[in-house]
Structure 1
Amino acid sequence: METHKSLSPDPNPAAEDDDHPAARRIHRLALHLNPPQGLHSHGDLRMLACAAKGKQLDVSTQELTEYMRGKHRDVQERVYEYFNSRPDLQTPIEISKDEHRELCMRQLLGLVREAGIRPFRYVAEDPFKYFAIAEAVGSVDMSLGIKMGVQYSLWGGSVINLGTKKHRDKYFEGIDNLEYPGCFAMTELHHGSNVQGLQTTATFDPLTDEFVIDTPNDGAIKWWIGNAAVHGKFATVFAKLLLPTHDIKGIADMGVHAFIVPIRDLKTHKTLPGIEINDCGHKVGLNGVDNGALRFRSVRIPRDNLLNRFGDVSRDGKYTSSLPSINKRFAATLGELVGGRVGLGYSSVGVLKIAVTIAIRYSLLRQQFGPPKQPEVSILDYQSHQHKLMPMLASTYAFHFATLHLVEKYSEMKKSHDEQLVGDVHALSAGLKAYVTSFTAKSLSICREACGGHGYAAVNRFGSLRNDHDIFQTFEGDNTVLLQQVAGDLLKQYQQKFQGGTFAVTWNYLRESMNAYLSQPNPVTSRWESEDHLRDPKFQLDAFRYRTSRLLQSAAMRLRKHSKTLGSFGAWNRCLNHLLTLAESHIESVILEKFIEAIKRYILVSALEGGSFAIHKLTEYLSFQVRNIARELVDAFDLPDHVTRAPIGMQSTVEAYSQYTQYAGF
């Protein structure tokens, strides 16, 4: 009888906890083994009770749209309206690789020269506006979004971020107006993530005051270089800077630097001497981007073509830098290139918005089965469908606010150049890019499945969205590698915490409360008492942070233990899955924190907040709540039909099937 009694929610558990510590532990263990019946069994009765006491949810789509899209909504509308007015620039469903590449270039030229939208001017001055344009352009065609990113964020960004005034003065206007289409030649056939391992060389020749660019072996061929196969005239080439010396070695390696290398003649567009360009061919997706491979055979460039912000070579061959070591210069260089990673995370949320919008609108439109002798019900009325799509919708909102926070931090970093903030943005962008793009990739398949056979039709876009987005998990940093960077940064902060060091901005909660989280009992078991408590944002955030703190502590202990026998690399590899879980846990904590902050700024609905993050026992009811406002929530993304371009995902349910059947010739 006593055991049975302990399995029921205690009317006054706090009193029992104070008087009987042993009973408290048994009570909580029993809750783990057999959760309270009200949260697990008799689900229909539980849902009816919740529904009876719940208030009618109401969402102002217009106000929410204004809050979501912010001050750069106007420039996004200009992008949408321009392409809607130019049917000849809209990407058809079936198009060959070569045709798609040429169309992409015409689209970019039209955007810049006809619509008058100049993204390059905002890369450094107003990153918020640049990323807003990138999101809108990617919604039109993801290949176009990537091609724009290669031109302005990568090629253009490398010139203005790694170069100095002389480079900006010489190249800015040509990059801006597309007279100087260019490439970002970092990745090699044998080296991608390990940039310090690149093998391409740039050897200084003091006799001619030139650098000589060489590809020493096939593994050093620059690979997957966007804009290289067809349109590029310049490339920012990352190579080891080698200086001749008079000592026994004969040469000094100063580490990886960036160089501007012309690859085609500006007038004739012919490939320049010493440069071999080949086509990487048809890809899984993004075939509007002309990825190519570059080999250099003693290609000579002026000394001034070294992008010399962090390191320079004088006429007499002397190397100077404000940074004392190769590692410091390398870190500073990569820190200035983090904008591409920020943009990918932000753009991935844009892709997720499109997919979720199409899937939810169709799920509201499509009716199937139902009670006997009654009308069929919407497939979104099924609990299984809600379980697939409603947490995804809530996550889309959460990711929107988390990536907005990242862009804010990035913009602040670009203005202040604060060293601590640079490290902070580097780690946060790595984690969010990895987490969001992985989530979106999985969600695209779920959305396709949620739309049944009609989701398989190319016209409804899931195939192209899925294929084009898939590479987001790899470029600008492989997601598994990026999560390891996050874990490494957390461990560094953990060590500094207990050595009296300083903390980076992102990990404030560790600085302020790690001792509390490590000493308190698990908040999930110690505060199980009520549904209201489980849905309390502070409890949820405490639970997420407790998990991260525990994972961090246990990871540090395991690494210390295994390092004694396996060395640092072996210990890291032994604990790798643990470390990846730690990184994901931390990023989820950051996402939740930024979501809660956004909701506090704009009082939305408790259901949206809970839909993504509440304890599993409540997700069915919370998904049911969000389902009731699902149409309003996707409408607030403010994506016109000519942007989503999926007949089954149209705003008007009356026209959806008629538009769809037209594609089959009816």
Structure 2
Amino acid sequence: MESDRTADETAQRALRRIQRLSLHLSHPSSPSNGLDLLYQSQCSGGRRPPVVNRAELTEFMRGPHREIQERLFEFFNARPELQTPVEISMAEHRELCMRQLTALVREAGVRPLKFVLEDPSLYFSILETAGGIDISLGIKMGVQYSLWGGSVMNLGTEKHKDKYFNKIDSLEYPGCFAMTELHHGSNVQGLQTTATFDPITDEFVINTPNDGAIKWWIGNAAVHGKFATVFARLILPLQGEGGAPADMGVHAFIVPIRDMDTHCTLPGIEIHDCGHKIGLNGVDNGALRFCSVRIPRDNLLNRFGDVSRDGKYTSSLPTINKRFAATLGELVGGRVGLAFSSVSVLKVATTIAVRYSLLRQQFGPPKQPEISILDYQSQQHKLMPMLASAYAFHFATRYLVDRYSEMKKSHDDEVVGDVHALSAGLKAYITSYTAKSLSVCREACGGHGYAAVNRFGILRNDHDIFQTFEGDNTVLLQQVAIDLLKQYKEKFRGGTLTVTWNYLRESMSAYLSQPNPVTVRWEGEDHLRDPNFQLDAFRYRTSRLLQSVAVRLRKHSKTLGGFGAWNRCLNHLLTLAESHIESVILARFIECVKSCPNKNTRDTLKLVCDLYALDRILNDIGTYRNVDYISPNKAKAINKLTEFLSFQVRLIARELVDAFDFPDLITRAPIGMQSEAYAQYTQYVGF
């Protein structure tokens, strides 16, 4: 009897679970019940969010190269053996990553190196697709084509292009980019590896003078690379004062590291594996030491500086600093690619978290059905501004790619300066934001976010290094601050400003004078959602930070010197740089909203843009309050409106993430599937 009762109870519990599961699957995204309708009527007077035409929104969001992306999605979808499993060893992952890249090039017929040079927008679209398949694949592709291939093509001359282009493009010459050293990363001018010219043999001799100069974290070096672009100090014997050696600064050299036939390490070269990493274990990072490695004089990548047969140095650029700036300037594409790819990671994570939050139901009013967790204000507060940011970053990085493409074609000095500032700032700001957001997404999905198959851990670990390579984010933000201070000086000298800074053409006094006491107190929704108010608020903050840090630097430099003053004001400078980049992002978003031809889609994007802008103002409301730019009641109105906009974005959240147009191959997480999420999740674990 007791056993029968236990069996009945077990069966009843199972039946209740099945009924609950059916409820989740059959009503995953409907407004939960009267709860959100009551909230809507209280907050909005019955207004509804824009009607979203998903197809039109997707079309507006799409880049110019969707066709090749879809072709690659189909290619990898048809090749399950090329898809990265959740559990895989480091060695297996590295070999799979190389097979993926080889298949992309030799079977799918994609030859990226031409696009690196001639059509960067197409190259970045391919890179985004590769990173969607596996972030390790995207990085390995970037090492081969943007770094190794790009350095040879952009820093070399025609003889290098003729010799290396086809074999780099076909993967016959897999290579590395050997810049970072154990002791030096961001400070490239401090690199210690040397390349000493030997006039007797007409060769350069590459040496690692001490352990601190070992090349470290070099992608493709541990297993697959056969060549490396090695950055080293060019030393010319007898060319300095009194016949001493002359140090001509950091130059780039092509150095073979493995035999083409046997794949054995070449004499004088020592290669070690950097080992298991937090993420990106499909990329074989290694360490390189050079001991009297001889290379022909022609292996100097000599676009900005050359050495003749008799050992004479020539350059079109007069100083070491100018040559160094020109060299690094040609490598800025890596930052563009990381900013662009980071937005894609943010979109994927947001898509998974939003879809799950619409699906998952929990608690609710007494004696009523459970409600979607995205109906909770706390969940909206976590995810809706993040979704708005993904849209904002999408348009900002599309603009960055367009400017970069223009730079590669025109080589115009103003465009070059604009791209350097944009790429440094956007890469730093977006990758930092995405890194934080990945953890928020994991937490927003509760225990199911902790399952590896639902991808947050993999995405978080693989993306984390985006904050460090191609320029440490803190260093890049300092570069932005330096440029801002230079432009600030130019403003008062009557000089011209590059596009990124052109809002400083406006009279600085317009932003720094006492705010209009009437405007400070305006609380109406029309005013708060006016793009002119939003952009003025962003720019006011940036201009005030710029003016105040300039004053502080002048003050502290009198007692601490230039370096000490900079260090004393460093946090202020980083805040300034982030504020400026937020202004640039918002300006681009507003422009894209205005340019949208379809009214429904334009209204949708306007809603998302307003949430992005007001959320950022609210995040720094203390700054605005401290300078009386926003009154206390206006701050409360901004807070209330931001909550309401988050609620309205929640009502169209499914359409907004669907408009990213990711196939299931890219999202992959069972809880982030467009349909039958729980069914796929239970099947994965064996039910």
Q: Which amino acid aligns with 1:336?
A: E
Partner in structure 1 of residue 74 of structure 2: 81
Taking the TM superposition and a 5 Å limit, the aligned residue runs for 1:122-271 are: 122-245=115-238, 247-271=241-265
Choose which of 445, 450, 453 in structure 1 pairs with 2:447: 453
Choose which of 421, 427, 430 in structure 2 pairs with 1:433: 427
- Aligned-residue identity in percent: 79
Q: TM-score, normalised by structure 2?
A: 0.89
Partner in structure 1 of residue 612 of structure 2: 612
Partner in structure 1 of residue 578 of structure 2: 584
Deviation of 1:187 (Å): 0.1
Does the CA contact (< 8 Å) of 2:386 and 2:437 recur in 1?
yes
Partner in structure 2 of residue 19 of structure 1: none
Equivalent residue of 1:278, what SS?
Answer: strand
Partner in structure 2 of residue 32 of structure 1: none
Q: Pick closer, same or farther for the CA change 1:359–1:126 going to 2, 3 Å.
A: same
Larger mean Cα displacement after TM superposition, 226-235 or 116-125: 116-125
Q: Which amino acid aligns with 2:214?
A: I
C-alpha distance in 2, partners of 1:442/1:296? Answer: 39
Does the CA contact (< 8 Å) of 1:221 and 1:294 recur in 2?
yes
C-alpha distance in 1, partners of 2:561/2:571? Answer: 17
Q: Which amino acid aligns with 2:147?
A: L
Partner in structure 1 of residue 108 of structure 2: 115
Q: Pick closer, same or farther for the CA change 1:197–1:531 going to 2, 3 Å.
A: same
Deviation of 1:272 (Å): 0.5
Q: Does 1:382 align with 2:380?
A: no
Partner in structure 2 of residue 7 of structure 1: none
Show CA shifts across 1:399-454 (max 9, x none).
Answer: 00001111111111101111222122111111000000000000000000010000
Partner in structure 1 of residue 328 of structure 2: 334
Partner in structure 1 of residue 513 of structure 2: 519
C-alpha distance in 1, partners of 2:517/2:575? Answer: 19
Equivalent residue of 1:258, what SS?
Answer: strand
Q: Does 1:647 align with 2:670?
A: yes
Q: Does 1:627 align with 2:627?
A: no
Larger mean Cα displacement after TM superposition, 187-196 or 264-273: 264-273
C-alpha distance in 1, partners of 2:424/2:311? Answer: 37
Q: Which amino acid aligns with 2:483?
A: D
Partner in structure 2 of residue 349 of structure 1: 343
Q: Pick closer, same or farther for the CA change 1:608–1:359 going to 2, 3 Å.
A: same
Partner in structure 1 of residue 395 of structure 2: 401
Choose which of 381, 387, 392 in structure 1 pairs with 2:386: 392
Q: Which amino acid aligns with 2:494?
A: G
C-alpha RMSD over aligned residues? 1.5
Equivalent residue of 2:228, what SS?
Answer: strand
Does the CA contact (< 8 Å) of 2:438 and 2:460 recur in 1?
yes
Partner in structure 2 of residue 306 of structure 1: 300
C-alpha distance in 2, partners of 1:45/1:549? Answer: 42
Structure 1 segments of 4+ aligned residues over 3 angstroms from their partners: 43-47, 522-525
Aligned residues: 622
Does the CA contact (< 8 Å) of 2:225 and 2:258 recur in 1?
yes
Choose which of 637, 643, 660 in structure 2 pairs with 1:637: 660
Q: Which amino acid aligns with 2:575?
A: T
Deviation of 1:44 (Å): 11
Equivalent residue of 2:496, what SS?
Answer: coil
Show CA shifts across 1:100-159 (max 9, x none).
Answer: 000000000000000111111100100000001111110110000000000000000001
Q: Pick closer, same or farther for the CA change 1:407–1:513 going to 2, 3 Å.
A: farther
Choose which of 559, 564, 569 in structure 1 pairs with 2:563: 569
Q: Pick closer, same or farther for the CA change 1:70–1:218 going to 2, 3 Å.
A: same
Q: Which amino acid aligns with 2:106?
A: R
Equivalent residue of 2:65, what SS?
Answer: helix
Show CA shifts across 1:8-29 (max 9, x none).
Answer: xxxxxxxxxxxxxxxxxxxxxx
Q: Which amino acid aligns with 1:214?
A: N
Partner in structure 2 of residue 23 of structure 1: none
Q: Pick closer, same or farther for the CA change 1:283–1:522 going to 2, 3 Å.
A: farther
Show CA shifts across 1:612-636 (max 9, x none).
Answer: 1124332110000000100000000
Q: Which amino acid aligns with 1:637?
A: F
Partner in structure 2 of residue 558 of structure 1: 552
Partner in structure 1 of residue 91 of structure 2: 98
C-alpha distance in 2, partners of 1:630/1:240? Answer: 53
Partner in structure 1 of residue 681 of structure 2: 660
C-alpha distance in 1, partners of 2:543/2:640? Answer: 24
C-alpha distance in 2, partners of 1:618/1:525? Answer: 17
C-alpha distance in 2, partners of 1:165/1:526? Answer: 60
C-alpha distance in 1, partners of 2:220/2:49? Answer: 53
Q: Which amino acid aligns with 1:499?
A: R
C-alpha distance in 1, partners of 2:561/2:293? Answer: 42
Deviation of 1:373 (Å): 1.2
Deviation of 1:290 (Å): 0.1
Does the CA contact (< 8 Å) of 1:523 and 1:539 recur in 2?
no
C-alpha distance in 1, partners of 2:543/2:586? Answer: 15
C-alpha distance in 1, partners of 2:288/2:540? Answer: 49
Deviation of 1:521 (Å): 1.1
Q: TM-score, normalised by structure 1?
A: 0.92
C-alpha distance in 2, partners of 1:573/1:523? Answer: 36
Does the CA contact (< 8 Å) of 1:335 and 1:423 recur in 2?
no
Equivalent residue of 1:216, what SS?
Answer: coil
Does the CA contact (< 8 Å) of 1:310 and 1:322 recur in 2?
yes
